[in-house]
Amino acid sequence: MFLPILVYFIVFKYYPMTGLVIAFKKYSFIKGIWGSPWAGLSNFELIFSTKQMVSIIWNTLRLSGLSLLVGFPVPIVLALLLNEVRKMWFKRTVQTFVYLPHFLNWVIVGGIVVTVFSQRTGVVNHVLDSLFGITYPFLYNESSWVAIFLSAGIWKEAGFGAIIYLAALSSIDQSLYEAASIDGANKWQQTTQITLPGIMPTAIIMLILKIGHLMEVGFDQVYVLQNSTVAEISEVISTFMYKMGIQQAQFSLATAMGLFESLVGLVLVLMANLIARRFGQGMW
Protein backbone atom coordinates (compact mmCIF):
# COMPACT_ATOMS: atom_id res chain seq x y z
CA MET A 1 0.00 0.00 0.00
CA PHE A 2 2.92 2.32 0.62
CA LEU A 3 4.54 1.57 -2.76
CA PRO A 4 2.58 4.18 -4.81
CA ILE A 5 3.51 6.88 -2.29
CA LEU A 6 7.15 5.79 -2.40
CA VAL A 7 7.16 5.89 -6.20
CA TYR A 8 5.55 9.34 -6.17
CA PHE A 9 8.23 10.79 -3.91
CA ILE A 10 11.05 9.18 -5.87
CA VAL A 11 9.77 10.34 -9.27
CA PHE A 12 8.47 13.81 -8.40
CA LYS A 13 10.54 14.80 -5.35
CA TYR A 14 13.91 13.06 -5.25
CA TYR A 15 14.75 12.49 -8.91
CA PRO A 16 14.26 16.19 -9.83
CA MET A 17 16.94 17.01 -7.22
CA THR A 18 19.53 15.84 -9.73
CA GLY A 19 18.84 19.09 -11.54
CA LEU A 20 20.59 20.95 -8.73
CA VAL A 21 23.84 20.17 -10.54
CA ILE A 22 22.92 23.12 -12.78
CA ALA A 23 24.01 25.38 -9.92
CA PHE A 24 27.59 24.16 -10.44
CA LYS A 25 27.55 24.39 -14.24
CA LYS A 26 27.34 26.98 -16.97
CA TYR A 27 24.05 25.65 -18.20
CA SER A 28 23.20 25.64 -21.89
CA PHE A 29 19.91 24.55 -23.48
CA ILE A 30 21.72 23.04 -26.42
CA LYS A 31 24.24 21.00 -24.41
CA GLY A 32 21.78 20.00 -21.70
CA ILE A 33 22.38 19.45 -18.00
CA TRP A 34 25.10 16.84 -18.25
CA GLY A 35 26.75 18.28 -21.37
CA SER A 36 27.10 21.82 -20.01
CA PRO A 37 30.60 22.83 -18.85
CA TRP A 38 31.45 22.65 -15.15
CA ALA A 39 31.59 26.03 -13.41
CA GLY A 40 32.30 25.03 -9.82
CA LEU A 41 31.34 27.68 -7.29
CA SER A 42 31.55 30.57 -9.72
CA ASN A 43 27.75 30.96 -9.82
CA PHE A 44 27.62 31.34 -6.04
CA GLU A 45 30.52 33.80 -6.10
CA LEU A 46 28.76 35.87 -8.75
CA ILE A 47 25.50 35.94 -6.82
CA PHE A 48 26.94 36.93 -3.47
CA SER A 49 29.28 39.50 -4.97
CA THR A 50 26.36 41.69 -6.03
CA LYS A 51 25.31 44.51 -3.70
CA GLN A 52 21.64 43.77 -4.31
CA MET A 53 21.89 40.28 -2.80
CA VAL A 54 22.34 41.52 0.78
CA SER A 55 19.17 43.58 0.44
CA ILE A 56 17.26 40.66 -1.10
CA ILE A 57 18.22 38.26 1.71
CA TRP A 58 17.36 40.88 4.33
CA ASN A 59 13.96 41.54 2.72
CA THR A 60 13.26 37.80 2.66
CA LEU A 61 14.14 37.34 6.32
CA ARG A 62 12.24 40.45 7.37
CA LEU A 63 9.01 39.59 5.58
CA SER A 64 9.18 35.92 6.61
CA GLY A 65 10.05 36.79 10.19
CA LEU A 66 7.20 39.28 10.48
CA SER A 67 4.79 36.78 8.90
CA LEU A 68 5.86 34.15 11.41
CA LEU A 69 5.75 36.52 14.38
CA VAL A 70 2.40 38.09 13.54
CA GLY A 71 0.68 35.28 11.69
CA PHE A 72 1.61 32.18 13.67
CA PRO A 73 -0.53 32.91 16.80
CA VAL A 74 -3.62 33.89 14.80
CA PRO A 75 -4.78 30.33 13.85
CA ILE A 76 -4.30 29.26 17.47
CA VAL A 77 -6.42 32.13 18.79
CA LEU A 78 -9.03 31.54 16.09
CA ALA A 79 -9.21 27.84 16.96
CA LEU A 80 -9.60 28.64 20.66
CA LEU A 81 -12.44 31.05 19.91
CA LEU A 82 -14.23 28.61 17.60
CA ASN A 83 -13.82 25.86 20.16
CA GLU A 84 -15.84 27.90 22.67
CA VAL A 85 -18.81 28.36 20.33
CA ARG A 86 -21.68 26.15 21.43
CA LYS A 87 -24.12 26.83 18.57
CA MET A 88 -22.96 24.30 15.97
CA TRP A 89 -24.68 26.03 13.03
CA PHE A 90 -22.94 29.29 13.88
CA LYS A 91 -19.60 27.55 14.44
CA ARG A 92 -19.76 25.77 11.09
CA THR A 93 -20.81 28.94 9.28
CA VAL A 94 -17.97 31.00 10.73
CA GLN A 95 -15.48 28.20 10.13
CA THR A 96 -16.54 27.95 6.48
CA PHE A 97 -16.14 31.69 5.92
CA VAL A 98 -12.73 31.94 7.60
CA TYR A 99 -11.10 29.02 5.80
CA LEU A 100 -12.66 29.73 2.40
CA PRO A 101 -9.96 32.32 1.44
CA HIS A 102 -7.37 29.52 1.53
CA PHE A 103 -8.81 28.18 -1.72
CA LEU A 104 -8.51 31.51 -3.53
CA ASN A 105 -5.55 31.99 -5.85
CA TRP A 106 -3.16 34.80 -4.95
CA VAL A 107 -4.03 36.51 -8.23
CA ILE A 108 -7.62 36.82 -6.97
CA VAL A 109 -6.49 37.93 -3.52
CA GLY A 110 -4.16 40.50 -5.10
CA GLY A 111 -7.07 41.83 -7.13
CA ILE A 112 -9.16 42.15 -3.98
CA VAL A 113 -6.34 44.01 -2.20
CA VAL A 114 -5.95 46.43 -5.11
CA THR A 115 -9.71 46.95 -5.25
CA VAL A 116 -9.76 47.82 -1.55
CA PHE A 117 -6.54 49.85 -1.17
CA SER A 118 -5.87 51.43 -4.58
CA GLN A 119 -5.20 55.15 -4.28
CA ARG A 120 -7.50 56.15 -7.14
CA THR A 121 -10.21 53.50 -7.22
CA GLY A 122 -9.86 51.76 -3.85
CA VAL A 123 -12.82 51.45 -1.52
CA VAL A 124 -10.86 52.69 1.51
CA ASN A 125 -9.61 55.80 -0.29
CA HIS A 126 -13.11 56.52 -1.58
CA VAL A 127 -14.28 56.60 2.04
CA LEU A 128 -11.32 58.74 3.13
CA ASP A 129 -11.93 61.14 0.26
CA SER A 130 -15.62 61.49 1.01
CA LEU A 131 -15.06 62.01 4.74
CA PHE A 132 -11.81 63.98 4.90
CA GLY A 133 -11.03 64.95 1.32
CA ILE A 134 -7.71 63.07 1.27
CA THR A 135 -6.35 59.81 -0.11
CA TYR A 136 -3.41 57.71 1.06
CA PRO A 137 -1.02 55.62 -1.09
CA PHE A 138 -1.39 52.38 0.88
CA LEU A 139 0.26 50.23 -1.79
CA TYR A 140 3.06 52.72 -2.48
CA ASN A 141 4.20 53.45 1.06
CA GLU A 142 6.68 50.91 2.45
CA SER A 143 5.24 50.63 5.97
CA SER A 144 1.61 50.37 4.82
CA TRP A 145 2.62 47.89 2.08
CA VAL A 146 4.22 45.60 4.66
CA ALA A 147 1.10 45.86 6.85
CA ILE A 148 -1.15 44.97 3.88
CA PHE A 149 1.20 42.12 2.90
CA LEU A 150 1.00 40.61 6.39
CA SER A 151 -2.74 41.14 6.72
CA ALA A 152 -3.48 39.55 3.35
CA GLY A 153 -1.43 36.48 4.28
CA ILE A 154 -3.20 36.13 7.62
CA TRP A 155 -6.64 36.58 6.08
CA LYS A 156 -5.93 33.93 3.46
CA GLU A 157 -4.33 31.20 5.61
CA ALA A 158 -5.42 31.69 9.24
CA GLY A 159 -8.76 29.93 8.86
CA PHE A 160 -7.28 26.85 7.21
CA GLY A 161 -4.51 26.69 9.81
CA ALA A 162 -7.12 26.81 12.56
CA ILE A 163 -8.50 23.47 11.36
CA ILE A 164 -5.31 21.74 12.48
CA TYR A 165 -5.56 23.21 15.96
CA LEU A 166 -9.28 22.39 16.17
CA ALA A 167 -8.36 18.77 15.50
CA ALA A 168 -5.76 18.96 18.27
CA LEU A 169 -8.32 20.49 20.64
CA SER A 170 -10.77 17.65 19.98
CA SER A 171 -8.19 15.15 21.27
CA ILE A 172 -7.96 16.76 24.72
CA ASP A 173 -9.64 14.69 27.44
CA GLN A 174 -12.80 16.56 28.47
CA SER A 175 -12.60 15.10 31.97
CA LEU A 176 -9.65 17.42 32.61
CA TYR A 177 -11.92 20.44 32.18
CA GLU A 178 -14.53 18.90 34.47
CA ALA A 179 -11.94 18.27 37.15
CA ALA A 180 -10.54 21.79 36.79
CA SER A 181 -14.04 23.27 37.00
CA ILE A 182 -14.74 21.33 40.21
CA ASP A 183 -11.47 22.65 41.65
CA GLY A 184 -12.64 26.20 40.96
CA ALA A 185 -10.57 27.01 37.86
CA ASN A 186 -12.05 29.74 35.68
CA LYS A 187 -12.08 29.73 31.88
CA TRP A 188 -8.75 31.55 31.57
CA GLN A 189 -7.04 29.13 33.96
CA GLN A 190 -8.48 26.15 32.06
CA THR A 191 -7.15 27.61 28.82
CA THR A 192 -3.63 28.25 30.13
CA GLN A 193 -3.32 25.05 32.18
CA ILE A 194 -5.15 22.52 29.99
CA THR A 195 -5.91 23.79 26.48
CA LEU A 196 -2.60 25.38 25.55
CA PRO A 197 -0.45 22.52 26.96
CA GLY A 198 -2.74 20.08 25.13
CA ILE A 199 -2.13 21.64 21.73
CA MET A 200 1.52 22.49 22.39
CA PRO A 201 2.96 19.44 20.53
CA THR A 202 0.96 20.38 17.44
CA ALA A 203 2.00 24.01 17.74
CA ILE A 204 5.68 23.03 18.06
CA ILE A 205 5.50 20.89 14.92
CA MET A 206 3.81 23.70 12.99
CA LEU A 207 6.40 26.18 14.25
CA ILE A 208 9.30 23.97 13.14
CA LEU A 209 7.75 23.62 9.69
CA LYS A 210 7.23 27.39 9.50
CA ILE A 211 10.83 28.06 10.50
CA GLY A 212 11.95 25.71 7.73
CA HIS A 213 10.27 28.06 5.25
CA LEU A 214 11.74 31.20 6.80
CA MET A 215 13.83 31.82 3.69
CA GLU A 216 10.81 31.29 1.45
CA VAL A 217 8.45 34.18 1.09
CA GLY A 218 5.61 32.95 -1.09
CA PHE A 219 6.38 34.04 -4.66
CA ASP A 220 2.73 34.46 -5.62
CA GLN A 221 1.93 36.71 -2.67
CA VAL A 222 4.89 39.02 -3.18
CA TYR A 223 4.68 39.12 -6.96
CA VAL A 224 1.01 40.13 -7.16
CA LEU A 225 1.35 42.80 -4.47
CA GLN A 226 4.74 44.34 -5.27
CA ASN A 227 5.32 47.39 -7.45
CA SER A 228 8.34 49.43 -8.47
CA THR A 229 7.75 52.03 -5.75
CA VAL A 230 8.26 49.51 -2.94
CA ALA A 231 10.81 47.35 -4.78
CA GLU A 232 13.46 48.07 -2.14
CA ILE A 233 11.53 46.10 0.49
CA SER A 234 9.50 43.71 -1.71
CA GLU A 235 12.29 42.17 -3.79
CA VAL A 236 12.89 38.74 -2.21
CA ILE A 237 14.71 35.54 -3.14
CA SER A 238 11.74 33.93 -4.91
CA THR A 239 11.06 36.97 -7.12
CA PHE A 240 14.78 37.36 -7.79
CA MET A 241 15.00 33.72 -8.94
CA TYR A 242 12.01 34.23 -11.23
CA LYS A 243 13.45 37.34 -12.84
CA MET A 244 16.94 35.86 -13.08
CA GLY A 245 15.92 32.38 -14.23
CA ILE A 246 12.76 32.84 -16.30
CA GLN A 247 12.98 36.40 -17.60
CA GLN A 248 16.75 36.54 -18.14
CA ALA A 249 17.31 32.80 -18.80
CA GLN A 250 20.20 32.62 -16.31
CA PHE A 251 19.21 29.21 -15.02
CA SER A 252 22.50 28.41 -13.31
CA LEU A 253 22.35 31.55 -11.15
CA ALA A 254 18.70 30.97 -10.25
CA THR A 255 19.40 27.33 -9.32
CA ALA A 256 22.37 28.37 -7.18
CA MET A 257 20.17 30.84 -5.33
CA GLY A 258 17.48 28.19 -4.85
CA LEU A 259 20.05 25.70 -3.50
CA PHE A 260 21.31 28.30 -1.03
CA GLU A 261 17.73 28.96 0.08
CA SER A 262 17.06 25.25 0.61
CA LEU A 263 20.27 24.68 2.58
CA VAL A 264 19.49 27.57 4.92
CA GLY A 265 15.98 26.19 5.39
CA LEU A 266 17.41 22.76 6.25
CA VAL A 267 19.75 24.27 8.83
CA LEU A 268 16.90 26.27 10.39
CA VAL A 269 14.70 23.15 10.65
CA LEU A 270 17.49 21.16 12.32
CA MET A 271 18.20 23.98 14.77
CA ALA A 272 14.52 24.48 15.60
CA ASN A 273 14.03 20.75 16.15
CA LEU A 274 17.15 20.60 18.35
CA ILE A 275 15.79 23.39 20.53
CA ALA A 276 12.36 21.73 20.68
CA ARG A 277 13.91 18.41 21.71
CA ARG A 278 15.41 20.09 24.77
CA PHE A 279 11.83 20.71 25.90
CA GLY A 280 10.68 17.21 24.88
CA GLN A 281 8.70 18.41 21.85
CA GLY A 282 10.98 17.57 18.88
CA MET A 283 9.70 16.09 15.62
CA TRP A 284 12.36 13.37 15.66
**pLDDT at residue 7 tops 90:** yes
Q: How many CA atoms lie within 13 A of 200 on its CB side?
A: 13
Judged by DSSP in three states, 91 sits in helix
Q: How far apart are CA 187 and CA 223, in angstroms?
A: 43
Residue 283's pLDDT is what?
64
Residue ranges covered by each domain of the chain:
48-278
Task: Give the pLDDT band (50/70/90) at residue 267.
Answer: confident
Task: Give the pLDDT band (50/70/90) at residue 95.
Answer: confident
Residue 218's pLDDT is what?
77
186: left (phi over 0), alpha (psi -120 to 50) or beta: beta
Task: Give the pLDDT band (50/70/90) at residue 145.
Answer: very high
> Rounded to 5 degrees, what are φ and ψ at 25?
-130, 165
* Of 277, 273, 127, 130, nearest in space to 209 by CA: 273
Q: Are 117 and 200 in contact (CB under 8 A)?
A: no
pLDDT above 90 as % of the chain: 26
**pLDDT at residue 74 tops 90:** yes
Residue 91's pLDDT is what?
87
| Mean pLDDT confidence for 130-146 | 90
β-bridge partners, 28: 32
How is 197-236 classified by DSSP, letter by letter? HHHHHHHHHHHHHHHHTTT---HHHHHHH--GGGHHHH--
For the chain, the average pLDDT equals 88
* Of 261, 257, 228, nearest in space to 242 by CA: 257
**pLDDT at residue 15 tops 80:** yes
| Mean pLDDT confidence for 12-38 | 88
**pLDDT at residue 282 tops 70:** no
Which range of 34-48, 64-78, 244-258 scores highest in mean pLDDT? It is 64-78
Protein fold of 48-278: MetI-like fold (1.10.3720)
Residue 6's pLDDT is what?
94
